[in-house]
Structure 1
Amino acid sequence: MRIYTRTGDKGQTRIIGNDVLYKSDKRINAYGTVDELNSLVGLVAASLTDKTAELKDELQEIQQLLFDCGTDLATPEDDAKHEYIFKNDETVDWLEKKIDKYMAVAPQVKKFILPGGSVSASYLHVARTVTRRAEREIVSLMQDESINAEVLKFINRLSDYFFAAARYANVLEDVDDVLYRNSKPVFR
């Protein structure tokens, strides 16, 4: 199987529906950042310890969902041959339940915390920031073209999940979060 097309030699790529776009296009940036995030989630899952291993299955499920999100972001709305495949159904509810569970276990904080702690938590914080970047790229695309709005909703909630999962990983690893020393109370 040949994986190169030589289209990229001219700074272009073909998306679902056969449109050819420059690699700097907002659509390419959006699904490319989701692809980067998916790879990072794989790294997070591979870095889990015995204490944080319980997160592995849900991280792999998130990877499956991110692949669906990327597919939809690569699909123009007017492509008659392809339908959006990401369905929110219960995915946002599933993430919210995980967030609530993890935040109930983590010590309550009223100030900002520094991203870090255990290695697993640190990787989860990086995933959170890449998710936020993906969200910005998706919003930028959405301002010009129609997208599957369910993707944006999922990505928005996913960054909250990574924050909560990072705090939970620190609990599992028995590592304290570090408060940002100049933070005023922001959480109630």
Structure 2
Amino acid sequence: MPIYTKGGDKGSTSLYDGQRVSKNSLRVDVYGTFDELNANVSLADKFCQIPRNVELLQWVEYHMFFLQGEIATRHATTFQQNSRMITVEDVQFLEHAIDEYTASLPKVDSFILPGSSTAGAQLHVCRTVCRRAERLLVAFMQDNFVRPEIEQYVNRLSDFFYIIARSEDHEQQLQKIEDQVIKRYRQAVKERS
């Protein structure tokens, strides 16, 4: 069975509930940008060195399907009948992770470069794509109802990517220090021999 349907050959696409809209509609732009974000999150989790970060990012990837599906449906109740929706508990989950990581990382009092590790850099890409998706969502909300939980979740998500990026960068810095200590130790042992 081919993956193409030819249904979009004339510039329209189907929403989750089967309604057709123009591919350049703001609704499609919003959920398409979240789809772009999710692909970037998937790439980020492959670069992460901290197993917990991989787990958290995969949790986000899974939840992005709920977010995209709801935006891709004109009436949230139609989506709710067939799928799970983003909840206050999901927002709180992100807040808890952000608070936990913030407490465990060194304090930052200035702007930082976007990622000193590969994972950190990719997570900053996620953060910036998330901010763009959020801007589109806010524009979309001017004429369309979006549940407050979605707006809150998206707002927390960019902060979440920022703090996970910092944790990956910090882990890489610690690894570099450890590698330097081991290298100097081995050099000292060699010189004594």
Do both share a fold (TM > 0.5)?
A: yes
SS in 1 for 2:133: helix
Q: Per the alignment, do residues 28 and 110 of structure 1 end up closer, same or farther by CA in structure 2, a change over 3 Å counting? A: same
Tell me if 1:72 matches 2:57: no
Q: Deviations over 1:46-66 (max 9, x none)?
A: 1223xx232111111101111
Is the 2:70–2:79 Cα contact (8 Å) retained in structure 1? no
Matching of residues 2-13 of structure 1 within 5 Å: 2-13=2-13
Distance 1:88 1:80 in 2: 14
Partner of 2:79: 82
Distance 1:114 1:80 in 2: 42
Gaps of 5+ in 1: 176-188
Q: Displacement of 1:113 after TM fit?
A: 1.1
Is the 1:86–1:150 Cα contact (8 Å) retained in structure 2? no
Distance 1:122 1:157 in 2: 19
Partner of 1:169: 168
Task: Tell me which stretches of 4 or more aligned residues in structure 1 moved more than 4 Å.
Answer: none
Q: Per the alignment, do residues 82 and 104 of structure 1 end up closer, same or farther by CA in structure 2, a change over 3 Å counting? A: closer
Name the larger-Rg structure: 2
- Identity of matched residues, %: 38
Distance 2:86 2:103 in 1: 28
Partner of 1:98: 97
Tell me if 1:57 matches 2:55: yes
- Superposed CA RMSD in Å reads 1.7
Q: How many residues align?
A: 172
Q: Displacement of 1:81 after TM fit?
A: 4.2
Partner of 1:18: 18
Partner of 1:29: 29
Partner of 1:139: 138
> Normalising by structure 1, what TM-score?
0.85
Matching of residues 112-131 of structure 1 within 5 Å: 112-131=111-130
Distance 1:132 1:27 in 2: 16
Greater Cα offset, 166-175 or 27-36: 166-175
Greater Cα offset, 18-27 or 99-108: 99-108
Is the 1:17–1:82 Cα contact (8 Å) retained in structure 2? yes
Distance 2:20 2:2 in 1: 19
Q: Displacement of 1:90 after TM fit?
A: 1.2
Gaps of 5+ in 2: 175-193
Q: Displacement of 1:17 after TM fit?
A: 1.9
SS in 2 for 1:95: helix
Q: Per the alignment, do residues 126 and 81 of structure 1 end up closer, same or farther by CA in structure 2, a change over 3 Å counting? A: closer
Greater helix fraction, Structure 1 or Structure 2:
2
Task: For 1:29, give the aligned amino acid.
Answer: D
SS in 1 for 2:28: helix
SS in 2 for 1:10: coil
Is the 2:123–2:165 Cα contact (8 Å) retained in structure 1? yes
